[in-house]
Amino acid sequence: MADSGYNTPDVESVLPIHPTAARRPNYLTVQSENTQYTDDHITSKFVNRGASVDISNGQFLVTPTAQTYEFQTKRTVSKTGLMMIGQGGNNGSTLCATILANRHNIIWRTKAGVQQPNYIGSVLRASTVRIGTDNSTGQDVHVPVSDVLPMVHPNDLVLGGWDISGATMDKAMDRAQVLDYDLQRQVAPYMALLGKPLPSIYYPDFIAANQEARADNLIPGDDKQVHLDHIRADIRKFKQDNQLDRIVVFWTANTERYSDIIPGINDTADNLLAAIKSSHSEVSPSTLFAVAAILEGEPFVNGAPQNTFVPGVIELAERHQSFIGGDDLKSGQTKLKSVLAEFLVNAGIKPLSIASYNHLGNNDGHNLSAERQFKSKEISKSSVVDDMVNANRLLYKAPVEEGTKGEHPDHIVVIKYVPAVGDSKRAIDEYYSEIFCGGRSTINIFNECEDSLLATPLILDLTILTELLTRVKYRGVDKKDFAPLYPVLSLLSYMLKAPLVKPGTEVVNSLNRQRNALEAFLKACIGIEGSSDLLLETRIW
C-alpha cells in the first residue's frame, strides 16, 4: 500500500484494545416490583404466557398457560475478546478495519463526499425498540436496543484470531478490496500493528482446492489432537495476555463441505473426542475449533453454513454448559426471502416456486464455486421458508407421513463466481405464486449489496449478544438457584440463515418472529412485558 502521508501510530494508541473513550450512560431504569437493581445485578420477574392445545376429532381445546421466571443479569460488562477463524478474510479484515476506524474516529473521502465511521447495519447499535408511551405527549418512546441492558461496545472488543493465510492485517485489508482507498490509507498503520493472524489448520478435503494457494500459515502436522491442544493454548494465551474476562470464538472462514454423521465417530461427545484423538478424517476444522472453545469454556459462533455442530458437539456443549450458536450469517438475499415469503403466505397467497440466483467475486464466491462447498450454502438457504409453509395448511397439504415435508414450494438456489464484481454481490429472486381462482402472480427482485459490509455488523451483533447471554441466568419460581441459559443460543436466530436450536424444538425462520423474540427476551430481563401491538387505547372509549 502506498505511503499514507500519516505518521505511524504509537503502539499504545492501538494496544491493548480497551479505549477509555466516554460512553453514553444507560438511562433506562424500570420502576416496578418486578425489577430490582443492585450494584451487581438486575433481577426481574417475568410471566411467560402461552397456550397448550389438545386436538381431538378436528376439535381444538385451548388452555391458556402462564409460567413465572426470574432473570438475573450481571451488570458489569465482560472485558471481551473476539477471536475470528478467518481473521484475514474479507469479513475479518473489514471488521478489524471498521472497528479501528470507529475507535480512532477516522474520517475519509469518497467521490460522494466526506464519510464518517458508524455502525449502520448493526441491530444493536443502529436500531431501536419501543419501551412504552410518553406520559406527557402520548407518543411512543423508542430507545437504542443497546440501551435495554448493559452490552459491550464494539470499539472495546479485543481483536485476534487465526487464518490459513499469513498476510498481515493491513495487507489482508488491501487484498479484500472492500473498503474505500482513503479509509484503507488511513487505517492501514493501525491494522499493521495487529500483525498477522495466528496459524490455523488446513484440511484440504473440507474446502475448495482453489484455496490451497492461500494456505501458508498453518499449524504443522496432521495430528488432530495436537491441533486441538494448540488451539486451546492459543485461546488461553490470548485471554491471559489481554487480561480478558470472556472470549467469543467466531468462524468467519471459508464454507466447508458438510461432514458425514457417522455412528461411533461424531454422534456423541465421547465418540467425537475419541475421533479427534485418532485424527479421524471426518472431523472438520470448524468442529475442531468449536470443541476447543467449548473445552476452554468460551462461546463459539459459526458464521458459515456447514454442519459444524454435529451431535457430538452439541452434547459436549451441554456437558460443559458452554455456549454455541449458528449457522451462516443472514445478511441480504435470505433475510429478504424470509420476509417476502412470510408476507405472501400470511396474505393467503400461495408461493409455488422460489428461484434464487447469486453471483459474486470475492473469495467466498471462489470457494463456493466448488460443488461440495456450494451444497452447504444451498442447504442453509433452502430451509428458510419451511416454518412459514408449515404454519399454513390451508395453502399447503400436510405431510402424509411423519418426517416428510408435505407440500412445499419448488425452491432452487444458484451461486456463481464472477471475479469482476468483487465483493459486490448480485442476487435475483423470482417468486411465482397462485392467487385467487387459479390466477398467477410473479414478483422479481434484483438486489445488489456489498457483501462484507452487510456481514460485518452481524458478526458484531452476534458477538455482543453472545457475551450478554453469558451474563444472564434464570430460575423458575420453584427453584432456589439461578442457572445459565441452555447452551444452544437460539436467540441469535435473527442474524443466521440456518438457526441452531435446542434438539427437539421448532426452528423459526420468520424474521418478524425472530426479532420479536429478541426484543421480548431483552425486555423480560428488565421486567417489562412484550409490547402490545393491540393498541387498545385507540380502540376503546
**Residue 176 to residues 90, 330, 476: CA-CA distances in angstroms?**
5, 20, 49
CA atoms within 13 A on the CB side of 136: 0
* Widest CA span in the chain: 79
C-alpha–C-alpha distance, residues 185 and 163, integer Å = 23
16 preceded by a cis bond (ω within 30 of 0): yes
Q: Which residues contact 82 (CB under 8 A, 6 or more apart)?
A: 157, 158, 159, 160, 161, 247, 248, 250, 459, 463
410 preceded by a cis bond (ω within 30 of 0): no
Contact 83, 459 (CB under 8 A): no
- How does DSSP classify residue 169? H
DSSP count for the chain of H helices, then E strands: 14, 19
Contact 133, 139 (CB under 8 A): yes
Contact 200, 292 (CB under 8 A): no
- Residues in the chain, how many? 541
- How does DSSP classify residue 450? E
Q: Which amino acid is at 130?
A: R
> How buried is residue 516: exposed, middle or buried, by Cβ count under 10 Å (0-12/13-18/19+)?
middle
Contact 191, 169 (CB under 8 A): yes
Give me the active site residues, please: 328, 377, 425, 497
Query: What is the β-pairing status of strands 158-163 and 80-85?
Result: parallel
CA atoms within 13 A on the CB side of 442: 5
Across the beta sheet with 246-251, the strand order is 198-199, 158-163, 80-85, 246-251, 300-302, 324-326
464 C-beta neighbours (distance < 10 Å), count:
26
C-alpha–C-alpha distance, residues 82 and 417, integer Å = 30
CA atoms within 13 A on the CB side of 529: 7
List of E strands, 260-307? 300-302
C-alpha–C-alpha distance, residues 488 and 323, integer Å = 6
- Residue indicated by cell numbers 401491538: 533
